[in-house]
Amino acid sequence: MIDRARLAALMSAEQDRFAAAHPRSAAAYGRAEHLFGRVPMTWMNKKAGGFPIYLESARGNRVRDIDGHDYVDFALGDTGAMAGHSPEPVVAAIRRRVEELGGLTTMLPTEDAEWVGAELTRRFGMDVWSFSLTATDANRWAIRLVRAITGRPKILVHSYCYHGSVDESLIVVGPDGEGTSRPGNVGSPVDVTHTSRVAEFNDVERLERQLAHGDVAAVLMEPAMTNIGIVLPDPGYLQAVREATRRHGSLLIVDETHTFSAGPGGMTRRDRLDPDVLVIGKAIAGGIPIGAYGLSGDLAARVLARTDLDLVDMGGVGGTLAGNPLSIAAARATLEHVLTDEAFTGMIDTATVFADGVERLIAEHELPWAINQLGARAEYRFATPYPRNGTEAAASADGELEDYLHLYLANRGILLTPFHNMALMCPTTSVADVQRHHEVFAQALATLPR
Ligand SMILES: Cc1ncc(COP(=O)(O)O)c(C=O)c1O
């Protein structure tokens, strides 16, 4: 229904506007000859404007680029900055560790770690915790533990899930209904069907059939998919997965790295989930690198009882800088003072204003799109009704349209997460910020050629 030739012309005009407004970013990108793909990390080439905006500074939900433009930031580092950029209590904790105390990496525990563990237990209910520097690593180590304990080789994930660069997770349901490597996967160690099984989200029957093979150590899942739009679980789905894993002797790893947006204890607390392992990362240290996994008391006891498993030296779980004093201090400050229970109430209310407004605008413009909200995050998708599984969600992608909307918004001071149409609220995101988004979004929709 969108006239693609006219959309391409509009896009080209937005790119010209972007280039004219960002000469310093363009020059920095042009000079970056010693970076792989010209960027510090290759995914930073996901940019609708032809080159990335270079960061000057960021505070709260505001970002300034090196060309002097200010943005209302709804990307928030794709959740890494859900606490807002450089929140004062986190800055103070970092300053204290760096300037007053010293000791950034010592291989020694700090007393803050037990405080953080206890707070994570209060929020998520898991009994004991271990730290990493990324959610990816937390997932990898969790996978090793569940394999060791069950003696089973495979991990079951949902089609088009994302859990970081975890080899086992890069599998999708192919056109024939069987598992196959996710398109574009880079350098898998073995055929992914040797390590993994896959089911569509919200399809208990298929999940149960896969589990019935008896070789699945654990289901690794987000309780709502958040990396291919926000695909919400049907009523009863999460309970059905839990029961199916128990029936088939598989464990359940819930990855709350993004679904933490649902509340202070993520979906696990909100929906009373009961996983064996819970993985989290990104937001919990206010932007300082961290990941963590929590184990049920029962699973922890079973792992610790296995004297053949080397958990202390070279056995395959651990990173030298994991649990370092800086990231633990930042996690304590974030959880104690920033991403508090009270803060979540405000963030979720603001996200509701965001989602309601976008829904109204979509309806006014008679577009066949839909928006889902998960606590403090919301995301619209170019399909209605909203897709119910990863394959449907992947099929509703529209790169041209997405790039145009992202660039139109960026040119007028609004940042969405570059990978999809996700908007996240931090404690300082205001209703006025959301209204500003709606104003620009409405203008963007009015330009769509049909
Ligand atoms: C659900 C989920 N798990 C894990 C990760 C990996 O996080 P990191 O890149 O910080 O390792 C992501 C990243 O987007 C994620 O969305």
Rounded-to-integer distance, Cα 190 and Cα 174, Å? 18
Tell me: do 411 and 307 sit in the same domain. Answer: no
Q: Is 289 in the pocket of ligand 1 (CB under 6 A)?
A: no
Rounded-to-integer distance, Cα 195 and Cα 144, Å? 12
Tell which atom from ligand 1 comes closest to the C-alpha of 256.
Answer: 1
Distance 145 CA to ligand 1 centre (A): 19
**pTM (2 d.p.):** 0.98
Rounded-to-integer distance, Cα 290 and Cα 324, Å? 9
Tell which atom from ligand 1 comes closest to the C-alpha of 282.
Answer: 10
Give the DSSP letter of residue 105.
-
Query: What is the per-residue pLDDT for 420?
Result: 87
Q: Which of 405, 318, 313 is nearest to 137 (CA)?
A: 318
> Is the CB of residue 373 less than 8 Å from the CB of residue 415?
no
> Of 286, 309, 338, which marks where a domain is finished?
338
> Of 338, 372, 407, which marks where a domain is finished?
338
Nearest CA to ligand 1 atom 9: 164
Tens digit of each residue's pLDDT, the chain (450 residues): 899 999 999 999 999 999 999 999 999 999 999 999 999 999 999 889 999 999 999 999 999 999 999 999 999 999 999 999 999 999 999 999 999 999 999 999 999 999 999 999 999 999 999 999 999 999 999 999 999 999 999 999 999 999 999 999 999 999 999 999 999 999 999 999 999 999 999 999 999 999 999 999 999 999 999 999 999 999 999 999 999 999 999 999 999 999 999 999 999 999 999 999 999 999 999 999 999 999 999 999 999 999 999 999 999 999 999 999 999 999 999 999 999 999 999 999 999 999 999 999 999 999 999 999 999 999 999 999 999 999 999 999 999 999 999 999 999 999 999 888 999 999 999 999 999 999 999 999 999 999
Distances (CA, A) of 264 to 121, 206, 319, 340, 351: 11, 32, 27, 7, 15
CA angle 137, 344, 325 (to 5 degrees): 40
Query: Which domain CATH number covers 11?
Result: 3.90.1150.10
CA-based Rg of the chain, rounded to a whole angstrom? 22
Name 414's Cβ contacts closer than 8 Å, sequence gap at least 6.
71, 72, 74, 436, 437, 440, 441
Tell me: do 250 and 365 sit in the same domain. Answer: no
Residue of 46, 161, 162 best suited for mutating to test ligand 1, as the one with most atoms within 8 Å of CB? 162
Tell me: do 175 and 232 sit in the same domain. Answer: yes
Tell me: do 308 and 165 sit in the same domain. Answer: yes
Nearest CA to ligand 1 atom 4: 163
> Of 299, 323, 338, which marks where a domain is finished?
338
Query: What is the per-residue pLDDT for 98?
Result: 97
Tell me: do 331 and 361 sit in the same domain. Answer: no
Diameter of the chain measured on Cα atoms: 67
Query: What is the per-residue pLDDT for 106?
Result: 94
Tell me: do 67 and 99 sit in the same domain. Answer: no
Tell me: do 143 and 287 sit in the same domain. Answer: yes
Tell me: do 114 and 246 sit in the same domain. Answer: yes
Q: Is 380 in the pocket of ligand 1 (CB under 6 A)?
A: no
Q: Which domain holds residue 389?
A: 4-82+341-447
Task: Report how many domains make up the chain.
Answer: 2
Tell me: do 277 and 415 sit in the same domain. Answer: no
Q: Which of 304, 302, 239 is nearest to 275 (CA)?
A: 239
Tell me: do 200 and 111 sit in the same domain. Answer: yes
Nearest CA to ligand 1 atom 3: 163
Q: Is 164 in the pocket of ligand 1 (CB under 6 A)?
A: yes
Distance 445 CA to ligand 1 centre (A): 31
Query: What is the per-residue pLDDT for 242?
Result: 98
Query: What is the per-residue pLDDT for 47?
Result: 85
